[in-house]
């Protein structure tokens, strides 16, 4: 110990420098992680600000697009069948009689949902439900065709899933007189 | 070599005390040690200063970015909310398209069949129906993974006078643009009953099936 003190006394400048060197080296070691930590923090924040910038760029015209989409969505909702209005819904199909001068003999609501559009089906729907109807109609080929087209053009969302058109039987058996049975699916509000 | 042999030992003892003698080296030891120690200290100080300056710069940069984020955060949240709403509404519109997803429309199909029908052919019944087909796959696992798909069947029952009429009609159906639907395989099969001896009419039945076509990768 004395020898060290003697050497320090002999070289005071070197001794002070050495002490300072050790202190600075310790400081370097102890505070070495600060820069890494800050660099990491900066990288994360840069990524966050870049994400915000990208969001800003991507949301260009988003407000207007959203407004259009909201309007469309409201319009779609207004055109959906209401499940609890059974009579109104069935009357909707009978109303084609007045429009097309056609005889609709039967409209019946089916109790089962279309399996293709139900959960697990190939075209399963989540936001809407569907109601299936069977429509029996008699008329000429042109009248039946007009009915199919009218159904396609209707305000409500209707799709003809199955149909059968055959030559009329019994008293109605005429070359131009046909009978048809349609299974139509209507888009309805979610219950 | 001869010079080395000539070196003689000290002929008298050396009484000098080295430590008390003045340092007469060109560069004094005192100076060298102090110089090296100071240089080391200066290097360490430089490194510390450089690190501290770097940390200071990073800290100010982080603060600036944080302030920027704070300013943009509210607007970003608003954009994110709008984006979520957009996705929600877009999905409901997308579902509408899915609802109408079918390769054939009833009225278009009937018009096409009426146009393709030869004059000599008489239809007594036309049926169109859709059904769900289970996934086709070699393994049970592949079957369970693949989603079920739609299959469409059109059946035409009628009469013809000549079998050539039926062949012609079948060919017309096979080449029809209405029935050539993308991703679907069209199969037309005909069956006929015994010819009525009195009238010469042959009852026929045509079955058109639109089944999902397999893609090149084995998936459908």
Express each pLDDT in B34-66 by its tens digit.
Answer: 899 999 999 999 999 999 999 999 999 999 999
pLDDT of residue B145: 61
Domain count, chain B: 2
Contacts of B121 in chain A (CB under 8 A): none
Poorest-pLDDT segment among A67-76, A161-170, B144-153 = B144-153
Distance from CA of B36 to the nearest CA of A (A): 8
Sheet holding A178-188, edge to edge: A103-109, A129-139, A178-188, A158-167, B122-133, B149-160, B202-212, B184-192
* pLDDT bracket for residue B1 (50, 70, 90): very low
Q: Which of B51, B62, B148 sits opposite A28 (nearest CB)?
A: B51
Judge if B158 and B67 occupy the same domain.
no
Better-scored residue on pLDDT, B17 or A81: A81
Cβ within 8 Å of A, B 65-104: 65-66, 68-69, 72-73, 75-76, 79-80, 82-83, 85-86, 89-93, 95-96, 98-102
Q: Note the pLDDT tens digit of each residue in A122-181.
A: 888 988 999 999 999 998 899 999 999 999 999 999 999 999 999 976 555 555 689 999
Once rounded to an integer, what is the mean pLDDT over residues A43-48? 94
A174 interfacial to chain B (CB closer than 8 Å):
no
DSSP reduced 3-state for B135: coil
Which candidate in B99, B123, B150, B159 is best for mutational testing of the A interface (most A CBs within 10 A)? Answer: B99
Q: What is the mean pLDDT of residues B65-81?
A: 90
CA separation for the pair B210, B131 (Å, rounded) = 10
Tell me: pLDDT of B140 over 50. Answer: yes
Q: Check whether residue B182 and residue B113 sit in a common domain.
A: yes
Which parts of chain B are beta strand (E)? 122-133, 149-160, 184-192, 202-212
Lowest mean pLDDT among A7-11, A23-27, A64-68, B19-23: B19-23
Å between B95 CA and nearest CA of chain A: 6
The backbone torsions φ and ψ at residue A31, rounded to the nearest 5 degrees and listed phi first, read -100, 10
Per-residue pLDDT for B28 more than 70?
yes
Residue B189, domain member (yes or no) = yes
Domain of residue B37 covers: 24-101
Task: Tell me if A187 and B66 make a contact (CB, 8 A cut-off).
Answer: no
Interchain pair A163, B128: CB under 8 A: yes
Domain boundary among B84, B101, B118: B101
Cβ distance of B54 and A35 shorter than 8 Å: yes
Token output for A28: 């370097």
Local confidence band at B136 (pLDDT 50, 70, 90 cut-offs): low
In a domain, B16, yes or no: no
Question: Do B75 and B110 lie in a common domain?
Answer: no
Q: B140 or B218, which is more confident?
A: B140
Identify the CA nearest to B176 among candidates B208, B200, B152.
B208
Sequence-separated (6 or more) residues with CB below 8 Å from residue A61: none
Is B6 or A151 the better-scoring residue by pLDDT? A151
Task: Looking at the structure, tell me whether residues B59 and B85 fall in a common domain.
Answer: yes
B110, B90: one domain: no
Buried b (16+ CB within 10 A) or exposed e, A90-124: eebbeebeeebebebeebeeeeebbbbbeeebbbe
Q: Cα(B19)–Cα(B36) distance, rounded to whole angstroms?
A: 22
- Which value, in Å, is the radius of gyration of the alpha carbons in chain B? 49
Measured CA to CA, the distance from residue A161 to residue A164 in angstroms comes to 11
Q: Which of B76, B101, B126 is the last residue of a domain?
A: B101
Q: How far apart are CA B121 and CA B118, in angstroms?
A: 5
Predicted ipTM > 0.90: no
Interface of B with A in 10-39 (CB under 8 A): 30, 33-34, 36-38
pLDDT for position B27: 65
Mean pLDDT, chain B, whole residue set: 85
Residues forming beta bridges with residue B123, ordered by sequence position? B158
pLDDT category of residue B21 using cuts at 50, 70 and 90: confident
Residues B116 and B192 in one domain: yes
Query: Do residues B59 and B154 share a domain?
Result: no
Q: Which of the 8 DSSP states describes residue A35?
A: H
Mean pLDDT value across residues A65-92: 92
Angle at B109 between CA A76 and CA A97, to 5 degrees: 60
Q: Which two tokens stand for residue A46?
A: 């840069």
Residues B68 and B116 in one domain: no
Which pLDDT score is estimated for A40?
94
**Chain A hits for B95, Cβ within 8 Å:** 125-128
Residue B69: exposed, middle, or buried by beta-carbon count in 10 A (0-12, 13-18, 19+)? middle
| Position A184 pLDDT exceeds 70 | yes
- The pLDDT value recorded for residue A32 is 83
Measured between CB atoms, which of A34, A115, A145 is closest to B132?
Answer: A115
pLDDT the model gives residue B26: 65
Q: What are phi and psi of B107, to 5 degrees?
A: -65, -35
Task: Write out chain A residues lying below 8 Å of B86, CB-based.
Answer: 62, 65-66, 69
Any B CB within 8 A of A48 CB: yes
pLDDT, average across residues A92-100: 90
What is the band of B220 on the pLDDT scale with cuts at 50, 70, 90?
very low
% of chain A beyond a pLDDT of 90: 57
Same domain, B39 and B114: no
Which pLDDT score is estimated for A87? 93
Q: Hey, is the C-beta of A135 within 8 angstroms of any chain B C-beta?
A: no
Are B143 and B130 part of one and the same domain? yes
Question: b/e string for B140-177 if b means 16 or more Cβ within 10 A?
Answer: eeeeeeeebbbbbbbebbbbbeeeebbebbbeebeebe
Asked whether residue B48 falls in the same domain as residue B113, the answer is no
Rounded CA separation A148/A145 (Å)? 5
End residue of a domain, out of B54, B74, B101: B101
Domain assignment of residue B217, yes or no:
no
How far off is chain A from B131, nearest CA to CA, in Å?
Answer: 8
Could B34 and A17 be called an inter-chain contact, meaning their C-beta atoms sit closer than 8 Å? yes
Quick one: pLDDT band at residue B218, thresholds 50, 70, 90? very low
Q: How confident is the model at residue A78 (pLDDT cuts 50, 70, 90)?
A: very high
Closest Cβ–Cβ partner in A27, A28, A152 for B107: A152
User: What CATH number does residue B192 fall under?
Assistant: 3.30.70.60
Give pLDDT, residue B219.
Answer: 41
Contact at CB, A18 and B90, closer than 8 angstroms: no
Residue B18 lies in a domain: no
Q: Which residues of A touch B48 (CB under 8 A)?
A: 24, 27-28, 31
A188 contacts in chain B (CB < 8 Å): none
| Facing residue for B149 by CB, picked from A122, A141, A148 | A122
Domain assignment present for B36:
yes
Say if B49 falls within a structural domain.
Answer: yes
Does residue B201 lie within any of the structural domains? Answer: yes
Q: What is the pLDDT of residue B36?
A: 92
Query: Is residue B9, in this structure, part of any structural domain at all?
Result: no
Q: Mind telling me how many Å the CA of A20 is from chain B's nearest CA?
A: 6
pLDDT tens string B183-214? 889 999 999 888 888 888 999 999 999 998 87
Q: Are residues B137 and B52 in the same domain?
A: no
């Amino acid at each position: 110990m004395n020898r060290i003190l003697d050497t320090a006394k002999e070289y005071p400048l070197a001794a002070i420098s050495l002490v300072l060197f050790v202190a600075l080296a310790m400081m370097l070691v102890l505070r070495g992680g600060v820069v890494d930590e800050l660099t990491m923090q900066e990288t994360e924040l840069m990524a966050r600000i870049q994400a915000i910038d990208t969001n800003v760029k991507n949301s260009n015209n988003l407000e207007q697009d959203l407004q259009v989409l909201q309007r469309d969505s409201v319009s779609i909702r207004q055109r959906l069948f209401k499940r609890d209005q059974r009579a109104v819904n069935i009357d909707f199909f009978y109303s084609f009689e007045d429009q097309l001068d056609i005889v609709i003999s039967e409209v019946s609501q089916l109790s089962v949902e279309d399996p293709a559009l139900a959960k697990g089906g190939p075209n399963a729907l989540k936001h809407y439900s569907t109601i299936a109807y069977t429509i029996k109609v008699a008329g000429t080929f042109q009248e039946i065709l007009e009915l199919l087209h009218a159904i396609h053009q209707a305000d409500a969302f209707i799709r003809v899933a199955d149909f059968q058109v055959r030559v009329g039987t019994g008293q109605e058996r005429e070359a131009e007189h046909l009978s048809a049975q349609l299974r139509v699916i209507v888009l309805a509000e979610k219950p | 070599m001869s010079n080395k042999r000539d070196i003689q030992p000290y002929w008298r003892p050396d009484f000098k005390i080295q430590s008390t003698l003045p340092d007469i080296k060109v560069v004094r030891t005192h100076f060298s040690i102090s110089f090296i120690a100071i240089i080391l200290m200066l290097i360490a100080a430089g490194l510390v200063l450089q690190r501290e300056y770097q940390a200071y710069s990073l800290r100010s940069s982080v603060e600036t970015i944080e302030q920027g984020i704070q300013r943009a955060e509210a607007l970003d949240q608003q954009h994110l909310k709008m984006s979520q709403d957009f996705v929600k509404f877009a999905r409901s519109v997308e579902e509408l398209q899915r609802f109408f997803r079918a390769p054939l429309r009833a009225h278009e199909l009937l018009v096409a069949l009426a146009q393709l029908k030869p004059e000599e052919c008489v239809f007594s019944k036309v049926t169109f129906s859709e059904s769900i087909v289970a996934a086709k796959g070699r393994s049970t696992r592949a079957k369970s993974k693949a989603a079920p798909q739609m299959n469409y069947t059109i059946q035409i029952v009628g009469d013809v006078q000549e079998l050539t009429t039926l062949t012609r009609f079948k060919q017309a159906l096979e080449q029809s643009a209405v029935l050539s639907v993308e991703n679907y395989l069209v199969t037309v099969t005909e069956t006929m009953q015994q010819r009525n001896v009195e009238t010469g009419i042959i009852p026929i039945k045509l079955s058109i099936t639109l089944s999902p076509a397999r893609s090149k990768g084995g998936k459908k």
